[in-house]
Amino acid sequence: MKRILVLGGTQFFGKKLVSTLLRNGNEVTIATRGKTPDPFGSAVKRLFIERQDKESIEKAFAEGEWDIVYDQTCQSPLEAKYVLDALKGKVKRYIFTSTQAVYDFGVNHTEEEFNPLQFLFEYKPREKYVGYKGYQEAKRAAEAVLFNQNDIEVAAIRFPIVIGEDDFTNRLRFHIDKIINHEVIGISNPEARYSFILSDEAASFLNEIGFSTFTGPINPGCQMDISLQELVEKIEALTGKKANITDILTKENASPYSLDGSWAINTNKAERLGFSFSNLDEVLDSLIDHYAVRLTER
């Protein structure tokens, strides 16, 4: 049994991670603002923190010690520093939920293409990181904070887009809804390619990396990637509906996946370590069917 601290853990694949940790007999503490209900009851311990408030973090972590911390909620280098300082001497391993956004736009990105040890940054609060560029800088800077210390083992999990039946963001469902209802979808770059991971596999990967000895950055994800055009064609084929696409984007019609370039990673390192991931075509086919059935049942 390990003592586990999860910062977050009440939504999406974070909730699946906590469920997995509990099922495996670990002692789990979740640290959140306490505003999102969770299904864990008395199975977990709870601490209440404000990620941007150094004093609340110091107070919450003053007494405990943990084998592994999973950080699901860090959105700035300051937040990473506050937690590291509060946990100094209290934790052995730090598993950071990062993102493929640390890379520039493109395809087949390997872990070596962004080196957090060489990234220069300023300590700024999350509200200073605005839009996509801000999100990218914040995650890069948080990785830099974590890897530029030697007290705690760190792994940074550079997730691609996470999808699943429990996806509260509804970004994939957006496209299926629009196509079935013959509503306009705004896509500026239909050839842009994207990587994905199933939420169940994201949680499983976090769990296994936490209990391994791996340190450094790593890319998990489904086999293959897909362009927005190919995704639209797949939805058309599975639903029998024709998409209505425009390159004039509005707040109402813009695809949540319509970025300025491709967002796709190379997962060879994870696979060499013995991890395997579902085939993207099969994952998407299943999810599209799931959402389409729900829509037609309404």
Q: What is the mean pLDDT of residues 269-293?
A: 96
pLDDT band at 296 (very low <50, low <70, confident <90, very high): low
For residue 297, what pLDDT is reported? 59
Question: What domains can you pick out in the chain, each with its CATH number?
Answer: 3-161+196-218 (3.40.50.720), 167-195+223-264+279-297 (3.90.25.10)
Least Cα distance to 68 among 121, 27, 25, 116 occurs for: 27
Determine the average pLDDT of the residues in 187-200: 97
Higher-scoring residue by pLDDT: 142, 36: 142
| pLDDT tens for each residue of 37-77 | 999 999 999 999 999 999 999 999 999 999 999 999 999 99
Whether residue 273 is predicted with pLDDT greater than 80 in this model: the reply is yes
As a whole number, mean pLDDT of residues 23-32 equals 97
Torsion of CA 103, 264, 267, 163, to 10 degrees: 110
Q: 292: buried, middle or exposed (CB in 10 Å: 19+, 13-18, 0-12)?
A: buried
pLDDT of residue 295: 66
d(CA 217, CA 161): 17
Contact 288, 234 (CB under 8 A): yes
Name the residue with tokens 């864990």: 40
pLDDT for position 61: 97
